[in-house]
């Protein structure tokens, strides 16, 4: 297990099988993410659950913002002919 400057720990998947190392990995999750490797290739990232929830909320907000901006652009560039009168439909 290696901890690097950007507050990430790099651990091998096999370290999760060792009780002492797996406990240390879980403790590290409180402070920063853990990158899991298999044969020196990153395969997964472990995060503290609170950090995961924050990231999910940020992604939801970003998606809502982008979709809102697209809708605003379409509305601003729309012509009357682009709409269907519900009474005539």
38-86 pLDDT, tens digit per residue, is 998 999 999 999 999 999 999 999 999 999 999 999 989 988 888 888 8
Burial class of 5 by CB neighbour count within 10 A (0 to 12, 13 to 18, 19+): exposed
Q: What is the pLDDT of residue 8?
A: 85
Q: Is the pLDDT of residue 6 over 80?
A: no
Nearest CA among 11, 63, 60 for reference residue 35 = 11
Q: What is the pTM of this model?
A: 0.64
> Quick count: other Cβ atoms within 10 Å of Cβ 57?
10
């Amino acid at each position: 297990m290696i901890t690097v400057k950007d507050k990430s720990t790099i651990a091998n998947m096999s370290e999760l099988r060792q009780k002492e190392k797996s406990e240390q990995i879980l403790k590290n999750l409180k402070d920063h993410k853990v990158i899991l490797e298999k044969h020196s290739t990153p395969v997964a990232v472990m995060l503290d659950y609170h950090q995961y929830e924050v990231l999910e909320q940020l992604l939801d907000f970003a998606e809502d913002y982008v979709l809102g901006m697209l809708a605003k652009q379409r509305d601003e560039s729309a012509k009357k002919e682009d709409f269907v009168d519900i009474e005539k439909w």
